[in-house]
Structure 1
Amino acid sequence: MQVSFACSDQDGGRGGLRPPGNGGHSKQNATSANTASQARARFRTVALIARSLGSFTNRYHHNLKESTAKLTGMKYRNLGKSGLRVSCLGLGTWVTFGGQISDEVAEQLMTIAYENGVNLFDTAEVYAGGKAEIILGNIIKKKCWRRSSLVITTKLYWGGKAETERGLNRKHIIEGLRSSLQRMQLEYVDVVFANRPDSNTPMEEIVRAMTHVINQGMSMYWGTSRWSAMEIMEAYSVARQFNLIPPVCEQAEYNFFQRDKVETQLPELYHKIGVGVVSWSPLACGIITGKYENGIPECSRASMKPYAWLKEKIVSDDGRKQQAKLKELTTISEKLGCTLPQLAIAWCLRNEGVSSVLLGTSSPIQLAENLRAMEVIPKMTAGIVTEIDQVLGNRPHSKKDFHQAH
């Protein structure tokens, strides 16, 4: 913190000096001494204030709210190598908003997240046919949260049934984002993601369209979702070639059982071109919670007809092997004094390239529990990570091991 001040006497003289005359030397000396004393007093006061403010201003000036950061322990990271600060944990609206839960529970989830320092809220035009964006916007409006304190992200690709209502062509990127903003009652989003690559649209058209919506103030940044490292690099190269805006991050699945892309492909992009990761599904669609240890519970996601693929995955041979590994990992989590989901989330955050981990839950109690994963991050020592790797047995080989936060 910088504090500046100026000291001058009422006569506007430089340094308080007056021309001698009429035997005024004694008065001049007394006045100068008095002025100097007052200046020193003001300096001491300003210095004390500066020191007291500096003890927390430098540390927390990026955070959502100073009090929130102190009370919750939420930490903030740059989104990739951009200057945008996002909470290490974000709230995703996939499945839940407009799907499994009521609007009231959705509001509870957002409130719990926000009050615990979360500033990143992610949605997509395709979630619940656009209803997720509507609910998200209604909650923001109702709670009267400062728009500047929120980082709202959405994804484009599937906007409707018509041929022109999907894809990453210029028409759909512009029209789709306008529709999303209308549903959320917002003037802009902070990040718009291209939700899967589009082989029907030239990369230059995608990058130009994303640059256009940013220049028009409809979004602050753009990113990719489920793109390969090669596709991301192509977008970056096109942006540099034509003086356009490159993507700042990639949304990718990352958890105990899905590691290769985030740990081997994306770190190189992070270090070379500054593309970070916003990861999703840290609990592998609920598999890592341990609730499928003894089968498929009736009210679980895997028991629902649209998620037959998840059920098949759980009951498969690989699924049973995963459950056995989770039992061993539970021993590690108990040793650290945390739950298995908290261990899984903290494990994701140990990766330096991960800007934020999106949580997806339909239970306020579960969300509050998972947010406490922040407390486990300092316990993720090299020894603990090695123990986890030995249990999982799936550590991908890379040219250079990524940095592990301690």
Structure 2
Amino acid sequence: MDFRYLGNSGLKISEITFGNWLTHGSQVENDVATQCVRAALDAGISTFDTADVYANTMAETVLGEALKGERRQSLEIFTKVYGATGPRGHNDQGLSRKHIMESINGSLSRLQTDYVDLYQAHRYDFETPLEETMQAFADIVRSGKALYIGVSEWTADQIRKGHALAKELGFQLISNQPQYSMLWRVIEAEVVPASEELGLSQIVWSPMAQGVLSGKYLPGQPAPEGSRATDDKGGAKMISRWMRDDVLTGVQALKPIADDAGLTMAQLSIAWVLQNKNVASAIMGASRPEQVADNAAAAGVVLEPALMKRIDDAIGALAERDPAQTKSPATRE
């Protein structure tokens, strides 16, 4: 496993982050989830990402149990705050001081740790003054409950404003967690340049486009049984944008490229996002432990410029590049 610095900080994280969105506490049984975490540790992965909103706090609980007994100093544990949790009362969502302060305590309890390495604003909150949010994060850092602060799916302008306030308050934003893949490139035009200028890295989610880039979905054919596209707990909805024959046909054109590189299509998609120097880590999920080692092999892979061009030619206009697609809900749901 290779490691990269996270933003303009001294924190190193593994190039592959194990994430438990859509799996732990919902799609897979807890014993299988624990096996996946063990497989991640065996593969050299030290970085684990979750959020309080995943499975309405259950994902954090499962991860905390799975990591119990591990040397805490050897791990980087990330979580997030914003989404509605618990009974979803009127203060159970957003980035108000009240919700942030209560949420960090709940996350630490479920994760069975005294601190998280990175605490992230899961979305931008238009209903809370940014000054209030950043002051709460500053206090959490000073209390030692979080070592670093990051954001997720913030626009370049929002990152700039948050970064300026953080600097005034004596801490820094070091990361952004956006969706990024061969098919979803909306961060490239604005978010990545702003992040490079300000000293933030990307920790990207869905590098396989919810599994479409693995090549297992074929044009004109039904989705395999048990796949994400058949999951009625949320997976099918997330993947639906890519389940078009033109996209699936374009993805199949990647297979000979992966073969020439000596990689599976899944490994190729993860290695592709890691070629972007502003990406510190790619988040990988798993529903079976054997998937972990296979996908973790994408770490350290170098894709030559000629091969990168072949990928661009295969995907072509299928990729979404509009920066306006980076957005947070205008109001809390």
Check whether TM > 0.5.
yes
Instruction: Give me the TM-score of the superposition, normalised by structure 1.
Output: 0.75
Q: 2:273 aligns with which of 348, 353, 367?
A: 348
Q: 2:175 aligns with which of 243, 249, 252?
A: 249
State the number of aligned residues. 316
- Partner-residue secondary structure (3-state), 2:52: coil
Cα distance in 1, alignment partners of residues 77 and 240 from structure 2:
34
Q: 1:238 aligns with which of 165, 183, 188?
A: 165
| Aligned partners of 1:89 and 1:371 also within 8 Å | yes
1:197 aligns with 2:124: yes
| Aligned partners of 1:208 and 1:244 also within 8 Å | no
Match in the other structure for 1:290: 215
1:313 aligns with 2:241: yes
- Larger CA Rg, structure 1 vs 2: 1
Pairwise CA distance, 1:271: 2.6
Cα distance in 1, alignment partners of residues 242 and 313 from structure 2:
22
Greater share of helix: 1
Cα distance in 1, alignment partners of residues 238 and 96 from structure 2:
32
Q: 2:200 aligns with which of 275, 284, 288?
A: 275
Cα distance in 1, alignment partners of residues 205 and 148 from structure 2:
19
For 1:73-92, list aligned pairs within 5 A: 74-92=1-19
Counterpart of 2:21 in structure 1: which amino acid?
Answer: W
Match in the other structure for 2:106: 179
Q: Please list every run of at least 4 consecutive aligned residues from structure 1 whose deviation after the TM superposition is greater than 3 angstroms.
A: 394-398
Counterpart of 2:47 in structure 1: which amino acid?
Answer: L
Higher RCO (CA 8 Å, separation ≥ 6 residues) = 2
- Partner-residue secondary structure (3-state), 2:249: helix
1:209 aligns with 2:139: no
1:322 aligns with 2:247: yes
Pairwise CA distance, 1:357: 0.4
| Aligned partners of 2:209 and 2:239 also within 8 Å | no
Pairwise CA distance, 1:355: 0.5
Match in the other structure for 2:94: 167
1:383 aligns with 2:309: no
Distance change (3 Å), C-alpha of 1:93 and 1:83? same
Instruction: Give me the TM-score of the superposition, normalised by structure 2.
Output: 0.91
Counterpart of 2:287 in structure 1: which amino acid?
Answer: S
| Aligned partners of 2:95 and 2:121 also within 8 Å | yes
| Aligned partners of 2:114 and 2:145 also within 8 Å | yes
Q: 2:264 aligns with which of 319, 339, 344?
A: 339
Cα distance in 1, alignment partners of residues 232 and 322 from structure 2:
37
Listed one character per residue, the Cα deviations across residues 92-150 of structure 1 (whole Å, up to 9, x for unaligned) are: 01011111111211111111111211111001001111111111111221xx2110000
RMSD: 1.7
In structure 2, list runs of 5 or more residues that go unmatched: 324-333
For 1:53-202, list aligned pairs within 5 A: 74-141=1-68, 144-158=69-83, 159-160=85-86, 161-202=88-129
Cα distance in 2, alignment partners of residues 137 and 277 from structure 1:
24
Listed one character per residue, the Cα deviations across residues 283-317 of structure 1 (whole Å, up to 9, x for unaligned) are: 111111122213222211221223442464344xx
1:264 aligns with 2:192: no
| Aligned partners of 1:207 and 1:245 also within 8 Å | no
Counterpart of 1:255 in structure 2: which amino acid?
Answer: S
Listed one character per residue, the Cα deviations across residues 354-390 of structure 1 (whole Å, up to 9, x for unaligned) are: 0000001101112211111126x12x01111111111
In structure 1, list runs of 5 or more residues that go unmatched: 1-73, 399-406
